Chain A
């Protein structure tokens, strides 16, 4: 059997990206040269590959049994973050390989992580896609952008994006709901102008025009700088849990779950991927525990951050869509997406959340029975965090739906949607 080579990966990915419109940059030489393999970014690659090597050193049997040599050289990586996500996927897969609870039917090979410059702010989600024998786990630019904006906006309600866990103790239950975060404004503006956020659109970027001409959006701001400890812990947990979920689709050999028309069949497939994802996430826990050293939580509470952030992020995002749809309807403009999807989205999210938190509760009970602890401090911290996150959902809904009508109309006019 021939070994997988970086050239083959690039060829299959280019083919998939072209066929399914996965990345506007792939197959566009000029855009690719401007955005991928940038020297400032590739400076980080040796350290990332060294971390990947560390995973191989700790779990050699997995790498002996699977063809992943291609991942350890620089040739295949378009961005260092891509290699970082692959390394984190190896943490999940290699620990699962050692687990006595692994289903022998699960295939752990041919997983390739890609970073795509997908920019549509109304469809921000990682995804799994099988193409020509390879299983691509794709983390789109817009997913990273959205999660950073929403978590930065959330943390502003309890003191700012640099805060640590102590801030949860200090602020009131709902946080500061009166001020509209510049990060939330940025996300709402991205959503409103997403059709104009594309390299092929001529002229000044629509977001810049709107920020200059519509006072409400003037202070909209991107997230810059190093994240504080709380933001780091929450976003890291969310990304790792998302990777685990997508690996769940790969292990279950799923194809095209998102396009399944029957809602119950789709929900069942997603719950199956969630369960496998949670199993991966808990099995590989040792790799992440140290990164949460300064979180005042025991291990079981730390593990909860993954499913909790995953579930609440989905609700925040849906809340921004719902609120913005209301603002669009008030302003007399099309929201730009299918309103009926909000209801099916809610049904799917609720069913998945219920199943995930049942799995979390069972996991906790089993581990507490074996001597692990979930003490009062853990309970208080998780409870405070959850209450503030849920309160922020209300803030998103209220603030997104109250974008002034004139600002909504102006943003839509400037972005000139194609359809």
Chain B
């Protein structure tokens, strides 16, 4: 059982701030999906030989992580049993699900804003769609 955040005011403030960030990220009315992908690409310090497209680069990064993210997310009961797992328009449910996903993003991939960005994108895609093809026995 987790401790009540109010028993630690600093922790409560951090959690509220994180929830606010996550809410902005998952709500399509606040941030469109291309913008999330651009932000993801903007975390990547590479210098390409040829000009390109930051939206596409963000998608390519997400696709590169797909197998690792599936292993981390798709077998988790608390995610699979979440009411928003099949997709929802309810932003509160999306935030709650994204928080669960963000907690499972491997530390090698995401830290800070990055894991919340990744979680928001996975939730927008839809957990079921994202996990399509995941086979626990091969993980």
Which residues does A use to contact B, with CB under 8 Å? 15, 17-24, 27-28, 30-31, 118-120, 122-131, 138, 195, 198-203, 242, 245-246, 249, 254-259, 269-270, 273, 310, 314, 317, 336-338, 341, 344-345, 348-349, 418-419
14 A-B pairs within 8 Å (CB atoms) are namely: A18-B108, A19-B109, A20-B61, A21-B44, A24-B65, A24-B66, A127-B49, A198-B63, A201-B133, A246-B49, A257-B48, A259-B42, A259-B46, A418-B62
The total of chain B residues at the interface (CB under 8 A) is: 44
Within residues 32 to 69 of chain B, which ones have a CB less than 8 A from any CB in chain A? 33-34, 37, 41-57, 59-68
User: Which A residues touch B47, using CB under 8 A?
Assistant: 127-129, 246, 249, 254-258, 269, 273
Q: Is the CB of B52 within 8 A of A125?
A: yes
Contact of B106 among A18, A246, A257, A336 (CB under 8 A): A18
A18-B68, A338-B53 given; name 15 further pairs at CB < 8 Å: A18-B108, A18-B109, A20-B43, A27-B68, A27-B108, A123-B56, A124-B50, A127-B47, A130-B45, A131-B45, A200-B67, A245-B49, A255-B45, A256-B44, A258-B47
Contact of A125 among B44, B50, B61, B62 (CB under 8 A): B50
Q: Is the CB of A24 within 8 A of B64?
A: yes
Kindly state the separation between the CA atoms of A202 and B134 in the bound complex, as whole angstroms: 8
Kindly state the separation between the CA atoms of A119 and B63 in the bound complex, as whole angstroms: 9
User: Which A residues touch B68, using CB under 8 A?
Assistant: 18, 27-28
User: Which B residues touch A20, using CB under 8 A?
Assistant: 43-46, 61
Q: Is the CB of A341 within 8 A of B54?
A: yes
Minimum CB distance partner of A198 in chain B: B63
Within residues 82 to 118 of chain B, which ones have a CB less than 8 A from any CB in chain A? 106, 108-109
Minimum CB distance partner of A24 in chain B: B64
Q: Is the CB of A337 within 8 A of B44?
A: no
Kindly state the separation between the CA atoms of A184 and B67 in the bound complex, as whole angstroms: 30
Contact of A202 among B50, B63, B121, B132 (CB under 8 A): B132
Kindly state the separation between the CA atoms of A76 and B55 in the bound complex, as whole angstroms: 33
